[in-house]
Amino acid sequence: MIDRDKSQLKRMRVEVEFIIDVTTDASKEKFLNDDLLQHGVCMSLLTIGECANHLSAEFTEKHPEIPWIQVIAVRNIAAHGYWQLNMEQIWEAIASDIPELYEFLQNV
C-alpha cells in the first residue's frame, strides 16, 4: 500500500469515528431535528468521500467490497448540492454503511 493510501485511510477512519461518536446516543428523531448534528455528519461524509477520491486505483480495485463510487458521489452532493441531501437517507447510511466502513478501515 502506498503512503498516500495510508494517509487517506487514516483520515477516513478519523471521520468515521467522529460520526460514530456523535450519533451513538442519538435517535433518528434527534438527528432529523438537530441541524448542527446533521452538518457535522455531512462534513465528515464529505471528507470521507474526498479521501476516497484520492485513493489509488490499485487500492480501490483491490477492495471492491466498498462502493467507492457511491462514497465519492455522497461527497459530490454534499459539496455541490448540500440542499439535495436527504437526511433520512443519511441516517440510514449512518446505521448501516458507516459500521461496515469502520470495520473495513480497522482491518485494512
pLDDT of residue 82: 66
User: Distance (Å, rounded) from C-alpha 108 to C-alpha 13?
Assistant: 11
Residue among 60, 57, 50, 69 at smallest CA distance from 11: 50
pLDDT of residue 1: 79
pLDDT of residue 21: 97
CA 82 distance to own-chain centroid: 15
Tell me the average confidence (pLDDT) per consecutive run of 10 residues in the chain, 108 residues long. Answer: 94 98 96 96 95 97 96 87 83 94 96
Per the CB < 8 A criterion, the answer to whether 89 and 41 are in contact is no
